[in-house]
Amino acid sequence: MHRTLHCPTSLFGALFAMLSCIAQADIAVERADWGDFFSQYKAEGTIVICDERAASKGYMAFNTERAGRRYSPASTFKIPHALFALDAGVVQDEFEKIKWDGIRRSVPIWNQDQDLRSSMRHSAVWVYERFAEMIGEPKEREYLERIQYGNQDTTGKGPFWVEGNLQISAHEQIGFLRQLYRNKLPFDVAAQRLVKDLILVEAGRDWILRGKTGWSGAVGWWVGWVEHPAGAVFFALNIDTPGRMEDLPKREGITRAILASMGALKPEAEQGGGGQPATRVESK
């Protein structure tokens, strides 16, 4: 069973919905019924959703205990990492070419020059490893502390956001995304707008889906939000991936099904034309 927060369809209602997401971050409404979606995909995990639409149900989660547990962010860290790189000046904009180092890697699309947009779309790990080397660990740690990202730990095996000690919870992912959505992070507004453009997945006539997948090898993520005229619906899902790459489609499958059940996103079969197709190429 779940509780529904009834809000008037008004400016006050939208404001209340937004504030409810903040106030309930640690006491999210448990949506046990969402377990059916995880069961359909034979997946173990959690999802947190913050619905800011005027008729919002507020802050909700399936498996609230796990939603507060931290895991490696894997490639979802590319969202803040792109902001760090822009702020540090190691990349100027989305047009600057990032020269391939000539090392052949397991994902063929990585084996060529990249730019900020392609490196995000294809999740090119080597680009962000280069960014980390150019930024340096002390500055990386300073950025993490500045935005209070997860446990803010840059130690351990590299890359620190995949195999190292950096970890973040689904709740914390939502908090970060909500700040980015409103350009409230301590970075240039133009940089925040650019990064939001980089994570565009697809769009319809009156909605935009932005998101980023991630995979540590053990845990898969999909985080982002759907923009509507009435407000945004934020999501952060993580699942165990014992089947490794075979389990990766489950991330979007579960999330899309839950968003569709809320009227926040149409089922893929009904979306029709308009907008970019969802990116399927994903790495760590």
Quick one: tokens of 167?
A: 């970890």
Neighbours of 147 (CB within 10 A): 18
218-240 exposure pattern, b = at least 16 Cβ within 10 A, e = fewer: ebbbbbbbbbbebbbbbbbbbbe
Listed in sequence order, the residues at least 6 apart from 219 whose beta carbon sits closer than 8 Å to its beta carbon are 71, 72, 74, 238, 239, 240, 241
Strand residue runs (E) in 58-155: 58-62
Neighbours of 86 (CB within 10 A): 22
Quick one: tokens of 224?
A: 């982002």
Which of 20, 56, 72, 75 is flagged as catalytic? 75
- What amino acid is encoded at 13 in this protein? G
Listed in sequence order, the residues at least 6 apart from 52 whose beta carbon sits closer than 8 Å to its beta carbon are 14, 17, 18, 21, 231, 232, 233, 234
Concerning whether 10 is annotated as a catalytic residue, the answer is no
Q: Half-sphere exposure of 260 toward its Cβ, with a 13 Å CA cutoff?
A: 13
Task: Quote the CA–CA distance of 216 and 160 in Å, as a whole number.
Answer: 11
Listed in sequence order, the residues at least 6 apart from 214 whose beta carbon sits closer than 8 Å to its beta carbon are 73, 74, 75, 76, 77, 78, 220, 221, 222, 223, 282, 284
What are the catalytic residues?
75
